C-alpha cells in the first residue's frame, strides 16, 4: 500500500494514512474513539460527532470490530491518548468488513480453548502474546543461523521424501511415490552425515521432521522443526560445544532484541542460561534420579529415562545440562561407541530441566562397524547402500546433533503446550488448518 504509515511511526504534525484492524470502538457520546491496531501497535482515532461530517462519523464508528480500515488524517499530540498521539480523521475507507460474531476475542480479554485458538489462528495471533511468540521464534531462527555461520557451518536443505527411516522408536509416515512406497523423513540424519563427508565439512539445516508418534502429549508433534548440525573432524565434545553456543546465542538474541515481546508474555525475569552446561554421565544421571525417590521403581543400567525421571533430575540440576556416555544399546546404530568400552556410546542428550531438547553424538565413520551396527539393530544394511557406500570413499570422523525448535521455544518461553509454538500444529487429531 502506497504511503502507509505504521501506527508506531505516526508523528504529530504529519498527515498520514494508517491502516489496520479495528481493535475497539469507544463511544463516549459527543466524542468517540476508534482504536486502530497494526503490527507495530495501536493508535487512537478521534471522532467529534458535532464537528465532523456525518458520513465520516458513520463510516468510522459504524464498522464492526476486527474490520480492516485505512484512516487518513492529521496526527496530533494528545497526552490523554494511550500512545500520546491521536489521528483526527479526514477520511475512513473500509477495506474488509468483519462479521459481528467472532469465534474468539482477539484482545485476549476473554479466554478461549487452545483448540478454538488453533482453528482460528489468524484471529488468535492478533493477540499481543500470540504475536510475541512468533516474533521470538523468528528471532531465535535468525540467531541460530548467525551462530552456525560463526561456527563456519553451511546451511543445507535435504529431502523430506525418503526411501528409508533412521530413527527407531517412532513410526514412519508412509506415502505413495509413483506407485512405490516411500516415507516422510524423520530426521536429516543420514543426509547431513553424507554432506559432512563432502568438502563442506560443517553443515546445518533448519527443516521439518515427520514422526508418527503414538503419544498425544503437550511436548510431541507429528511434524516438528529440527535444527540440525553435523561437523567433520568433530568429536562428541566439540559437538556439545557448538550445541551450547547455538542455544545460548538464541537466548542472548531474545534477551537483547525482544524486550517488548517478553513483556507481552509476562516474562520479566528472562535469563540467559549459565555456561558451561554441566555434563553428567548417564550413570550419574540414573543414580541422582534414584536418590530423589520420585520414581516408583529404581532405574537400572540400560533403562531409558522416563519423563518423571527427567523432571526429577531437571529439578535437581536446575538449569540446562548434558547427559553423556549412554549405554550403546539404547542409542541408534549411527552413534559411535567409546574405543575403550563398547557398552558405552558417545551419544549425548541436552536437557532443559523440563525435557529433552537435543540428541547427538559422534558418528560411526568406520564402514565395517557401521554395517555391524545396522545388523545389531535389526536393520537391513542393503536398504541403506546409498549411505554406507560413501563410507568407502574417505569418510572423516564426524559428530553432530538435532535440536527440536518448538521445544526450544516452549521451554524458553515457559509455554505449557508445544502447540503454542507452532502456527499450524500437526497432531493425531489435527490435520487442518
Footprint of ligand AMO on this chain (CB under 6 A)? 167, 187, 189, 211, 213, 220-221, 224, 226, 228, 356-361, 400-402, 404, 406-407
Axis crossing angle, helix 405-412 with helix 236-257, rounded to the nearest 10: 50
**Would residue 281 be called left, alpha or beta, if left means φ above 0 and alpha means ψ between -120 and 50 degrees?**
beta
Nearest distance from C-beta of residue 99 to ligand AMO, angstroms: 35
47 neighbors 57 (Cβ within 8 angstroms): yes
Rank residues 60 and 165 by Cβ distance to ligand AMO and give the closer one.
165
Rank residues 6 and 173 by Cβ distance to ligand AMO and give the closer one.
173
Of the residues 127, 202, 211, 365, only one is catalytic, namely 211
Altogether, the residues listed in the chain come to a count of 433
385 neighbors 393 (Cβ within 8 angstroms): no
- Residue 365 bears catalytic tag: no
Nearest distance from C-beta of residue 61 to ligand AMO, angstroms: 47
Rank residues 82 and 169 by Cβ distance to ligand AMO and give the closer one.
169
Nearest distance from C-beta of residue 331 to ligand AMO, angstroms: 9
Rank residues 61 and 358 by Cβ distance to ligand AMO and give the closer one.
358
Nearest distance from C-beta of residue 58 to ligand AMO, angstroms: 51
- Residue 117 bears catalytic tag: no
336 neighbors 346 (Cβ within 8 angstroms): yes
Distance of alpha carbon 320 from alpha carbon 420, whole angstroms: 22
Rank residues 261 and 349 by Cβ distance to ligand AMO and give the closer one.
349
Q: Percent helix, strand, coil in the chain (nearest 5)?
A: 30, 30, 40
Of the residues 220, 236, 320, 363, only one is catalytic, namely 220
Q: Of 191, 145, 126, 174, give the one whose Cα is nearest residue 363.
A: 191
DSSP code of 98?
Answer: P
Nearest distance from C-beta of residue 319 to ligand AMO, angstroms: 17
Residue nearest to ligand AMO (CB): 404
Of the residues 37, 126, 137, 219, only one is catalytic, namely 219
202 neighbors 231 (Cβ within 8 angstroms): yes
Nearest distance from C-beta of residue 195 to ligand AMO, angstroms: 13
Which distant-in-sequence residues (6+ apart) come within 8 Å of 16 by Cβ?
Answer: 5, 10, 72, 73, 75, 87
Distance of alpha carbon 97 from alpha carbon 92, whole angstroms: 13
Nearest distance from C-beta of residue 189 to ligand AMO, angstroms: 4
Cis peptide before 28 (omega within 30 of 0): no
- Cα-flanking dihedrals φ and ψ of residue 159, to 5°? -65, 145
Burial class (CB in 10 A: 0-12, 13-18, 19+), 206: middle
Cis peptide before 258 (omega within 30 of 0): no
Nearest distance from C-beta of residue 406 to ligand AMO, angstroms: 6
Of the residues 202, 363, 407, 419, only one is catalytic, namely 407
Grouping H, G, I as helix, E, B as strand and the rest as coil, residue 26 is strand
Rank residues 167 and 284 by Cβ distance to ligand AMO and give the closer one.
167
Cell for 338?
Answer: 567409546
* Structural element, H or E, at residue 203: strand 202-210
257 neighbors 249 (Cβ within 8 angstroms): no
Of the residues 78, 139, 213, 369, only one is catalytic, namely 213
Of the residues 91, 356, 367, 369, only one is catalytic, namely 356
- Residue 213 bears catalytic tag: yes
* Residues annotated as catalytic (active site), given as ranges: 211, 213, 219-220, 356, 359, 407
Amino acid at each position: 500500500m502506497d504511503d502507509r504509515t505504521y501506527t508506531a511511526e505516526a508523528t504529530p504534525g504529519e498527515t498520514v494514512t494508517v491502516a489496520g484492524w479495528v481493535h475497539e470502538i469507544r463511544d463516549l457520546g459527543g466524542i468517540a474513539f476508534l482504536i486502530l491496531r497494526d503490527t507495530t501497535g495501536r493508535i487512537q482515532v478521534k471522532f467529534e460527532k458535532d464537528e465532523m461530517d456525518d458520513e465520516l462519523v458513520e463510516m468510522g464508528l459504524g464498522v464492526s470490530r476486527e474490520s480492516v480500515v485505512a484512516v487518513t488524517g492529521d496526527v496530533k499530540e494528545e497526552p490523554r491518548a494511550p500512545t500520546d498521539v491521536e489521528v483526527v480523521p479526514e477520511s475512513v475507507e473500509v477495506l474488509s468488513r468483519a462479521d459481528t460474531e467472532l469465534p474468539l476475542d482477539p484482545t485476549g480479554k476473554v479466554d478461549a480453548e487452545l483448540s478454538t485458538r488453533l482453528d482460528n489462528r489468524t484471529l488468535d495471533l492478533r493477540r499481543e502474546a500470540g504475536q510475541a511468540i512468533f516474533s521470538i521464534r523468528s528471532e531465535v531462527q535468525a540467531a541460530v543461523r548467525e551462530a552456525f555461520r560463526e561456527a563456519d557451518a553451511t546451511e543445507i536443505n535435504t529431502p523430506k521424501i525418503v526411501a528409508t527411516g533412521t530413527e527407531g522408536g517412532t513410526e514412519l509416515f508412509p506415502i505413495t511415490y509413483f506407485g512405490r512406497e516411500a516415507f516422510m523423513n524423520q530426521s536429516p540424519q543420514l543426509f547431513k552425515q553424507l554432506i559432512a563427508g563432502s568438502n563442506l565439512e560443517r553443515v546445518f539445516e533448519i527443516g521439518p521432521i515427520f514422526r508418527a508418534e503414538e503419544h498425544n502429549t503437550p511436548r510431541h508433534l507429528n511434524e516438528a522443526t529440527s535444527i540440525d548440525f553435523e561437523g567433520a573432524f568433530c568429536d562428541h565434545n566439540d559437538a556439545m560445544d557448538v550445541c551450547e553456543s547455538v542455544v545460548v546465542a538464541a537466548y542472548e538474541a531474545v534477551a537483547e532484541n525482544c524486550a517488548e515481546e517478553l513483556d507481552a508474555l509476562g516474562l520479566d525475569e528472562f535469563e540467559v542460561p549459565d555456561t558451561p552446561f554441566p555434563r553428567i554421565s548417564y550413570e550419574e544421571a540414573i543414580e541422582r534420579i534414584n536418590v530423589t525417590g520420585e520414581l516408583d521403581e529404581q532405574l537400572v543400567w540400560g533403562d531409558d529415562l522416563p519423563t518423571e525421571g527427567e523432571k526429577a533430575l531437571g529439578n535437581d540440576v536446575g538449569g540446562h545440562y548434558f547427559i553423556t556416555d549412554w549405554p550403546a544399546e539404547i542409542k541408534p546404530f549411527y552413534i559411535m561407541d567409546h574405543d575403550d568400552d563398547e557398552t558405552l556410546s558417545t551419544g549425548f542428550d541436552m536437557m532443559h530441566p523440563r525435557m529433552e531438547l537435543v540428541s547427538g553424538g559422534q558418528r560411526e565413520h568406520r564402514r565395517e562397524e557401521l554395517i555391524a551396527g545396522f545388523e545389531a539393530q535389526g536393520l537391513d544394511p542393503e536398504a541403506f547402500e546409498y549411505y554406507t557406500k560413501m563410507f568407502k570413499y574417505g569418510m572423516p570422523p564426524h559428530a553432530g546433533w538435532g535440536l527440536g525448535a518448538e521445544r526450544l521455544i516452549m521451554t524458553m518461553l515457559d509455554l505449557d503446550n508445544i502447540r503454542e509454538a507452532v502456527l499450524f500444529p500437526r497432531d493425531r487429531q489435527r490435520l487442518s488448518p
